[in-house]
Amino acid sequence: MKGSALYRAILITAVAALLLSGRAQARDLDQDEALRLRQAGVILALEQLMQPALGRYPGATLLEAELEETQSAGPAGRYIYDIELLTSTGVVRELELDARDGRILQDEEDD
């Protein structure tokens, strides 16, 4: 029994370490960095990026928007907008948008 419990504890620790090490690191970008990236043509303007999300949730209100650079292999990371929308039905949605092309990468109801 003791060996089995120890084995499970080691296995759980190893799986948790693998999951955490595989998680992408993200860095929040400020308004100046976002403006510089937009002017350089690296990312689209937030107003333009919002069109697919507002098409999915007509009448929604933007509550929050945050631009992040995720760390990935290669010279540059991936730029993601994390946004929160309040839908016309009163539900808060959390979306991730690719800041380069506006694709909706994730869409879920806020807890």
- Give residue 7's pLDDT: 44
- Give residue 13's pLDDT: 45
Q: Are 20 and 14 in contact (CB under 8 A)?
A: no
- pLDDT per position as a tens digit, 59-92: 999 999 999 998 765 556 789 999 999 999 999 9
Evaluate whether residue 19 is within a structural domain: no
Evaluate whether residue 6 is within a structural domain: no
**Domain range holding 71?**
25-109
Evaluate whether residue 10 is within a structural domain: no
DSSP-derived letter for residue 41 is T
3 state SS of 95? strand
- Give residue 34's pLDDT: 92
pTM exceeds 0.85, yes or no: no
Which CATH number fits the domain that encloses residue 69?
3.10.450
